[in-house]
Amino acid sequence: MDVTVGEVRSPQVVSVGAHEGLSAAVVKMDRLGLRRLPVLHGGRVVGIVTAGDVRRGLPRLGERPSAWDFTVLVGRMRVEDVMTQPALTTRTDEELRAAVARMLDARIGALPVLDRNGTLVGMLTRKDVLRAEVRRPRLTWGSVGQHMNRGVLTVTVDIPAAEALARLREGGLHVLPVLEGPHLVGVVHARDLEAEAERGEAAHGGRSPDPPPLLPGRAVRDLMRPPVGSVSEDAPMHRAMERMLEADVYGLPVVSDGGRLLGVVTVSDVLTTVLGGWRPEAAEG
């Protein structure tokens, strides 16, 4: 029997009202360590608000560089002013592969989960799928080398962090290996760069009609993590998934015994393998 979303999803329901103040949503996400919240109105999911939506929705104040004005304007903003709508959703009785296909196609990291009555009952995230696959003994997963990407995009330690973030966004990637010469010296994660960019924009305070410089003066070496989670290409893929969960990351560099970078293996590789050759239109036919 095929696995359903209801068997995998996170049951914790954290949401925000469409008419709630934007600042309340930001505080909730910050306190709970979340990057997205489903938005409800009348008990129904009407959208989703993400950290990126908040960043893009912050007002610019033209020629009035007043923190007071900025604070007043932000205080008037509601979640509905910046949310993405309508939100893509899934249902508890939907086949997991259908939900995974939707996430991959839309390049999103989570889907609100509804019951048969359309009530929000949880979220399905990439991490939920990863946890489910780790729990299931899968000898067919094989080795890392069977799933990794060998033609991997990399960055060097000295390039601007803003350039690394642009590459991550353009490629829809979560992690980039960092090289110094031919050697792997670290990894840089999209969420680390996004968080630093958000802090910089918050400090800027929307005091100019133009967006602030992205990550000014920061190089990749300033924001990279050490490559403590690397794997070899002959390691079991199941172990690589366990390491992603342990380190709370969405990708691992694959290295040779001599420390040479061979490629990367990511949570998207896991999702793609879960999906296999199945597509919704194929299932219907």
Partners of 219 in the β-ladder: 160
Task: Report if residue 285 sits inside a domain.
Answer: no
Based on the fold, state whether residues 121 and 205 are members of the same structural domain.
Answer: no
pLDDT tens digits along 120-150: 999 999 889 988 888 876 666 789 998 888 8
What pLDDT is stored for residue 46 in this prediction?
95
Based on the fold, state whether residues 187 and 117 are members of the same structural domain.
Answer: no
Task: Report if residue 248 sits inside a domain.
Answer: yes
Number of domains in the chain: 2
Task: Report if residue 170 sits inside a domain.
Answer: yes
- Residue 152, pLDDT > 90, answer no
Handedness of CA 152, 157, 158, 162 (dihedral sign): positive
Task: Report if residue 51 sits inside a domain.
Answer: yes
Task: Report if residue 242 sits inside a domain.
Answer: yes
Range 192-200 contact pairs with CB under 8 angstroms and sequence separation of 24 or more: 192/223, 192/225, 193/161, 193/164, 193/165, 193/168, 193/223, 194/51, 194/52, 194/165, 196/161, 196/223, 197/55, 197/162, 197/165, 198/51, 198/54, 198/55
Instruction: Tell me which range, 12-16, 17-21, 106-110, 131-135, is most confidently predicted by mean pLDDT.
Output: 17-21
Mean pLDDT, rounded, of the chain: 83
Name the nearest CA neighbour of 173 among 154, 150, 160, 159: 154
pLDDT tens digits along 65-81: 466 676 777 778 899 99
Q: How confident is the model at residue 187 (pLDDT cuts 50, 70, 90)?
A: confident
Based on the fold, state whether residues 153 and 271 are members of the same structural domain.
Answer: yes
Based on the fold, state whether residues 196 and 90 are members of the same structural domain.
Answer: no
Domain of 267, in residue numbers: 139-275
Strand 110-114 versus strand 90-91 pairing type: parallel
Based on the fold, state whether residues 149 and 89 are members of the same structural domain.
Answer: no
Task: Report if residue 153 sits inside a domain.
Answer: yes
Based on the fold, state whether residues 109 and 207 are members of the same structural domain.
Answer: no
pTM of the model: 0.74
Last residue of a domain, one of 132, 165, 188: 132
